[in-house]
Amino acid sequence: MTMKSINKKAQQRDAEIISNKKVGAYHHMVFAVGDMATFAYPGNFVAISVGGPNSSMVLRRAFAIYRAHDRGNYGGTIELVVAPHGQGSKWLTSLPVHSTVDMVGPLGTHFGIPTEPVNALLVGGGYGSAPLFGLADLLKSQGSRVDMVIGASTAGKIYAPLEGKRTVNSMSVTTEDGSTGLRGRVTDLLPKIIDEHSVDIIYSCGPMAMLAAIQKIADQHHVLHQASIEESMACGIGVCMTCVIPLRDEDGILRMSRSCIDGPVVDGSSVIWDSRGSIPHGTLGEPRG
């Protein structure tokens, strides 16, 4: 098996911010990116240089693409939903409209779209749910049924735009503290929805613990599961090796794989979810001690 390389459609450009709006705990940002948008699919991400030219933040920050449009007044645009948590994301969300940023994209793997209409279940955690709305649009346009479950620890961390609710057949919201929607976790609702709507495939995006729990349910119900994994991606192009996770490839070989190149979207059944940051026994190249 040959190692994957950076997304062949990726390009680097100065992207102008044409909109920056605060939506609850997040910022919805729109960038003019020209033909980069033509090659961006749900699940891909971009890597942005943050902090300005004199910043000590030398590593790019990775952001999942919320939506991409290949036409309009500004040519192609890419939309991001940014949570201003760290120094880099706070700097990005503080920029005024018409500022430019150094952006590389689209990067990584994207969600696979069935060739025939299916019954799809989309599951998101926190702002990790953002890339699922563009996916929902695409699936609905091809005649699929789309049910969505999104959850977070509390109401302020839910990202659920009104237009997203109109895209899907049903949307359920959960919060661990019960401040909005149903009290509990997204996984509490999945078995019933899978059975009720004869779900063929689950698409998920969110924290690793949530994705692991979804995979267990997918296994129990014999449903396909495509997961967008959340690992810190310091470079986004497969050089720094900070985002490695154990994946079993199509030949059954267990490898430490780069989630920015082999992912972020992977077959959930290929991930060794309980590795907890260690190298599982039997991994190719495992140190002998």
Q: What's the pTM value of the predicted model, to 2 decimals?
A: 0.90
Flag whether pLDDT at 2 surpasses 60: no
CATH architecture for the domain at 11-107: Beta Barrel (2.40)
Answer yes or no: is pLDDT of 3 > 60.
no
Q: 132 pLDDT exceeds 90?
A: yes
CB atoms within 10 A of CB 186: 24
Per the structure block, which two tokens stand in for 166? 């109109």
With cut-offs at 50, 70 and 90, classify the pLDDT of residue 246.
confident
Question: What is the residue extent of each domain of the chain?
Answer: 11-107, 119-275
The predicted-structure confidence for 161-180, as pLDDT tens digits, reads as follows 777 778 899 999 999 999 99
CATH 3.30.2290.10 fits 119-275, yes or no: no
Q: Which pLDDT value is given to residue 172? A: 95
- CB-based contacts of 1: which residues, under 8 Å, 6+ apart? 249, 250, 251, 253
Determine whether 48 is exposed, middle or buried from the number of CB atoms within 10 Å of its CB (0-12, 13-18, 19+): buried
